Structure 1
Amino acid sequence: MENKGLLFIPDISGFTRFVNEIEIDHSRHIIQQLLEVLINANNTGLEISEIEGDAILFYKFGEPLELEALYKQVERMFCEFHRHLNAYDSRKICQCRACVSAVGLTLKVITHYGEFTTYNVKNFSKLIGKDVIVAHQLLKNDIAQHEYWLVTDNLLQDTPPTGLATWMKWDASAKQTETGEIPFHYTQLSQLREELPPEPDPQLELSDKVKVVSVFKDYDVDIKTLCFTVVHFEFRHQWQIGLKEVNEVEHFLPGVGSRHQHVMENGQKIMMFTSSFYYNPEEKILFSETDEKRKSSTYYTITKAPDGRSRLILDIYIPKNPVRQLLFNLFERNALQANLRESLNRLEPIVKEMVLPLEF
């Protein structure tokens, strides 16, 4: 039975301690998604021993990987981690502290080679051994920065860590443990993040559209409270005429591109996706939803109104088509406009009683 191998620990950090229930829940969702991203980025046959809070303990028995192959694995995980965060930051809707600060999360990777064995607890293979303890102790060190790759000298095997990337600079250090000094080298990884290309525009909005209905109403609340009430799906059925519920389709935090299902009171089910979002509470907040068949889009625009009030404008767009526009004006416009106006009226008592549960 092999008892020597690689220990590989990517560790996420950067979140502060949240006390608000929504922020705690959202931070948990974000970390969960990032852990899945790291697991999916594993392409060197690493096995998972366990997920330890914000870190994953990977291992692989046998001879150590070549340093270049190991770096490619670190690079892949690091870049996928930050691509995911960049995408979420550019498409997020929620403005809680967890969601806003997520883009600042960091990743460090600890790699060590040593002796350890496995033991099974039901369906899980747990690791035991002195070097497992050493790898965990290395997570706490004197390195000032938070995004780095640490390689112990056990893994380097007297081979200097050079020639991997032109920007890479290595420093040597050591960790004092109960079993002695553990020498290691480390290098910063922030350059990889700076080299990532910007997130592409998802191009989800109707490209050639015409406005067919527009209604608005002013409310005696601030712009953030109105926004919070309108954008959160759990309140939507309480005020939108004809809507029974909104169901989550993808189990992650909603953002531009995420899908959700509108279940209507007549039994109809309509798949929708969030097609745009703009957040500037000093000026206006705008987001839109488009049905998956791209038959129509609803734009929710929230602006400041006179006397400290806030205004919600609902605009309905359909694809530009003379025949479709004529039929809509003849058979649909009046009923839809009446329903939207009544929806805005039903929103008033809900938004008046809304208390923001967090900084939004």
Structure 2
Amino acid sequence: MEFSELNSAFLPDEADDTQPALLFIPDISGFTRFMHENKIKYSRNLIADLLETIIDANIINLEVCEIQGDAILFYKLGAPPTIEEVVNQCKQIFLDFQNYLKIMERDGSLLGTQLLENKLTLKIVAHYGRISVTQIKSYIKLMGMDVILAHRLLKNNIEGSEYVLLSEGYLKTQKPEAIEKSFEWTQLREGSTEYEHMGRVRYKYAFLTPLRLLVTDPEVEHNRNHYPNTFSLEVKVQAPLDLVARIIRNYRLKPAWMQGMKTAQYDISKSDRSGTYCKCQMEKGGCIEIQTLQFKAFADKVEYIEKITNFKMFPNALLFLNAQAASPHATLLTLEFHYSRVSVGDYFYDSFGRKKMRDLMGKSLKSLKELCEHVQANKELPTKKNA
């Protein structure tokens, strides 16, 4: 089934105020069952974090129109993004979503156990058509048959729960050879569904499951061959485990060792809680956000995980700091940087960007070691001025 490149979305009707736009809807599969089995008071924070993760993974400048329970309606006015851009956007969202779940599954709480038993995942619909943008008080509302169609496409004949669906309306705007090339990592299939008042709608779809090979597991040692989007650095610190643990969790001290960071702003009353956000101004301009995802302390080791957003090269990343007692007065500190930029074949991100980030994290780890050893020698944490 081949689609013509001509798209009626470019051709406005007479006296029509509609505009061509991409409609992009990631939808959480398994959401209803998960909410039912875990009750809203236990799962609402997790779902909120997952929806935030999806929004943070926006790398093609989509606009958020509305959040509809388990789905987010994004849109982008004007000419359609290329198939490569749309596919990379789907990959980015799926991997960020799955990486976040992987961390939450490790939590020893009831919620972590329920995640293992009830798998949440994503399906994504991309459609291109004409929409009317309406202002209702301070809210933006999208209207038109193409908006209805995009939502209807979430209900289809596809057997599976994690896939990307590209409508005929979008595929008509792309060259067949570009479409084929963008799906070399999986199989692109043909499908269609009959909808009331709309007739039979054709589309193509691909399962996102092969991308699970890129989802990083925090329980195992990573290497470049199996996990190309991670790297690990290690250093021995001449300071006890409990001191190192206090320093890596201390947002106030973050600018003292994280390279390129100027200031850190956070709610001091919540600084030791999982889920706490910290806004960090960078020396070269711009701002990144850090969120504490998990802190687990054992007798001889500590595991600390942060989510970092708004890095220019890596829009979403996870920072693992694992501290292992080497002796009563020494700690083996491991830094793992997990990123899910998936611009396959892009030399800049695969080589230069990775090298630059590895160098930055290497310098940060060295500074962290020096800070810990300085504190140990002086028996006190630096003041805010020194930090």
TM-score by length of 1: 0.56
Distance 1:184 1:55 in 2: 20
**Which residue does the alignment assign to 2:45?**
29
**Which residue does the alignment assign to 1:167?**
185
Match of 1:177 among 195, 214, 231: 195
Give 1:311-322 correspondences, 5 Å limit.
Answer: none
Partners of 2:104 and 2:112 within 8 A in 1: no
**Which residue does the alignment assign to 1:63?**
79
**Which residue does the alignment assign to 2:205?**
186
Q: CA deviation at 1:117?
A: 0.8
Distance 1:62 1:27, change over 3 A: same
Distance 2:127 2:272 in 1: 37
**Which residue does the alignment assign to 1:301?**
none
Name the SS for the 1:116 alignment partner: strand
Distance 1:135 1:211, change over 3 A: closer
Count of equivalent residues: 247
Give 1:1-360 correspondences, 5 Å limit.
Answer: 3-15=19-31, 16-18=33-35, 23-90=39-106, 92-96=107-111, 99-101=114-116, 104-157=119-172, 159-160=175-176, 161-178=179-196, 179-199=198-218, 248-249=270-271, 275-276=295-296
Q: Give RMSD over aligned pairs.
A: 4.3
Distance 2:103 2:168 in 1: 36
Q: Per-residue CA shift, 1:127-175, capped at 9, x if unaligned?
A: 1111111111111112111110000111011743311143320111112
* Larger CA Rg, structure 1 vs 2: 1
Name the SS for the 1:4 alignment partner: strand
Q: CA deviation at 1:195?
A: 2.2
The residue type equivalent to 2:195 in the other structure is T
Identity over aligned residues, as a percent? 31
Distance 1:211 1:5, change over 3 A: closer
Q: CA deviation at 1:83?
A: 1.5
Distance 1:138 1:112 in 2: 9
Q: CA deviation at 1:20?
A: 7.0
Q: CA deviation at 1:11?
A: 0.5
Q: Per-residue CA shift, 1:251-284, capped at 9, x if unaligned?
A: 7569xxx99xxxxxxxxxxxx9975368xxxxxx
Distance 1:34 1:273 in 2: 12
Distance 1:104 1:287, change over 3 A: farther
- In structure 1, the gaps of 5 or more residues are 213-245, 260-271, 279-284, 291-296, 298-316, 326-360
Partners of 2:274 and 2:294 within 8 A in 1: no
Distance 1:31 1:194 in 2: 24
Name the SS for the 1:146 alignment partner: coil
Q: CA deviation at 1:14?
A: 1.9
Q: Per-residue CA shift, 1:33-58, capped at 9, x if unaligned?
A: 11111111112121111000011000
The residue type equivalent to 1:135 in the other structure is A
